[in-house]
A = this chain, B = another copy of it.
Amino acid sequence: MNLLIREGKDSNMKKIINDPKNVVDEMVDGLVRSYPQYLTKLSDTEAMVRSDQASMQGKVGIVSGGGSGHEPAHAGFVGPGMLSAAVAGQVFTSPTPDQIYAAIKAVDQGKGVFLVVKNYSGDVMNFDMAKDMAELDDIQVKSIVVDDDIAVKDSLYTQGRRGVAGTVFMHKILGAAADQGASLDDLASLAKRVLPKIKTIAVALSAATVPEVGKPGFELADDEIEFGVGIHSEPGYRREKIKPSKQLVQELLGKLDDEGKLQSDHQYAVLVNGMGATPLMDQYVFCHDLLDELALRQIKPAFMKVGNYMTSIDMAGISLTMFEVTDPQWLDYLLYPVKTIAWS
């Protein structure tokens, strides 16, 4: 990832920040000082590790991260039962290999470290380089590249599909398994089985404004929405006039249905995710329509979460993730207790 290609019109950026250049530094500092019981920052990095080190003993570490701007991802999911560490890059920019390497080294307990990477070229490359650095240190590392966004193929910043909100389900599943003593090989095989079952698609009502850019990543008219937008304002697949929630649900669910037929005798975990500026009021109305549409297909989610989990700074919009739970143990993993800032 890097600075945005398509850009909206100039306007005064209205944000509660200081110098845009220091946003990530100050954000990470504010976060770890607000929640010292959860997060400890590795010095001279933007890598945050679990403060409760004891809970990691004898277990495989789980490390994730990526560009900043997706809060509470990824640091909000660090804690017993979920991630061991999160590495924050600059806004919409991959963290550097040395910072990822620092996190790997800090959480390794001799059992190896598993990396959860979203499919963006920068992230894939930098997490790979960090893996190589760790292996030179005799730390065993395996990884999964999450590509759950079904909207488009080969987007800005990536080849293949993008990794978006469904990544949080991967964090939860692997975190629970690791906490219960799964080996690095177990986790690699689990991640491989889970990956194709997680599918996400989004609709945007506005673009995100990256502080250092100072204007929205693209422009939508007052009455326009865009389907399939990515979490860095990457283009989606269609623009339309704003529609009622019910029709948004039908469009997104229809796309997920086309991708892999939703079946009434299958179990699903659902994540309705706000992109940052969308109020819970809208998210809950969306859920009302979603649950109606699913009921028409005789589907009742086995597990559901609604809220801001993988945001795009101040973008308005919603993503819908359907995770087909083909193994009943995965449901136990989803329900497994955690202690994190953002997943309860």
The one of B27, B248, B281 that contacts A285, using a Cβ cutoff of 8 Å:
B27
Nearest B residue to A277 by beta-carbon distance? B277
How many residues of chain A have a CB within 8 Å of chain B? 66
Q: Is A17 an interface residue (CB 8 A)?
A: yes
CB distance B205 to A14 under 8 Å?
A: yes
Q: Is A192 an interface residue (CB 8 A)?
A: no
Give bound CA distance, A244 to B279, whole Å: 25
Chain B residues with CB under 8 Å of A279's CB are 71, 276-277, 311, 313-314
Give bound CA distance, A107 to B305, whole Å: 26
Give bound CA distance, A206 to B314, whole Å: 13
Please judge, given known A-B contacts A12-B223, A242-B14, A244-B17, whether A33 and B287 are in contact too, CB under 8 Å.
yes
Q: Is A304 an interface residue (CB 8 A)?
A: yes
Please judge, given known A-B contacts A27-B288, A314-B277, whether A282 and B17 are in contact too, CB under 8 Å.
yes
Give bound CA distance, A205 to B313, whole Å: 16
Q: Is A124 an interface residue (CB 8 A)?
A: no
What is the distance, in angstroms, from A289's C-beta to the closest C-beta of chain B? 7
Q: Which of A134-169 contact B (CB under 8 A)?
A: none
What is the distance, in angstroms, from A202's C-beta to the closest C-beta of chain B? 12
CB distance A316 to B27 under 8 Å?
A: no
Most buried by B among A31, A69, A279: A279
**Contacts beyond the supplied A30-B288, A34-B287: 10 A-B pairs with Cβ under 8 Å:** A12-B242, A14-B206, A16-B282, A17-B244, A18-B285, A72-B307, A91-B281, A276-B279, A276-B280, A344-B344
Q: Which residues of A contact B (CB under 8 A)?
A: 11-12, 14-19, 23, 26-31, 33-35, 68-69, 71-72, 76, 91, 205-206, 211, 222-223, 225, 242, 244-246, 248, 272, 276-291, 304-308, 311, 313-314, 316, 318, 340-341, 343-344
